[in-house]
Amino acid sequence: MIPKRHYTLLILFLLGISFYAEAQVGAMGRRRIVPQTQTAPAKTEPMTAEELVEAEMPKLLESIDFSEFEQAILKSILTKYVQQRIEIQILQLSPEKTREAYEQINLSQDEELKASLPEDKYEALKAYRERGGKKAKTKKRKKKKGT
């Protein structure tokens, strides 16, 4: 009978030690053995000229009412000159040459827009660009309180 009692005590002793050992390790026993590496965020590709123009068109159309034909003309002209600006950035010219190239592109774009769009739409577009792409502010009339 004594040997059975010894086996029972031995089993209980081993179980107790295993719980004690697990408590000492803590959460380390449940961790992954292979360390997790930090994944670098995927680089976003720069937008193409078409994507840049597509992103700007809704704001532009909200501010100025263009017909479908005028929209197509405006989109093609803007895409052409945005592409030229992107190419200038890729070339990484000196600041002075970059500024000169941008000025030349802006002049060419203005001439082409002036020749392609009606005068009132061109002036509205010019005013829109001077405001930095924001809608024209309309003055709100304040109601006078009657006494």
Question: What confidence tens digit (pLDDT) does each residue in 3-44 have?
Answer: 788 888 888 888 888 776 665 555 555 666 666 677 777 778
Model confidence at 61, pLDDT cuts 50, 70, 90, reads confident
Q: Is 102 exposed, middle or buried (0-12, 13-18, 19+ CB in 10 A)?
A: middle
Q: For residue 16, what pLDDT is reported?
A: 80
Across the range 141-146, mean pLDDT stands at: 63
Please give the Cα distance from 90 to 125 (Å, whole number): 28
Q: For residue 128, what pLDDT is reported?
A: 87
Which of 22, 118, 19, 140 has the alpha carbon at shortest distance from 64?
118
pTM of the model: 0.61
Is the pLDDT higher at 60 or at 38? 60
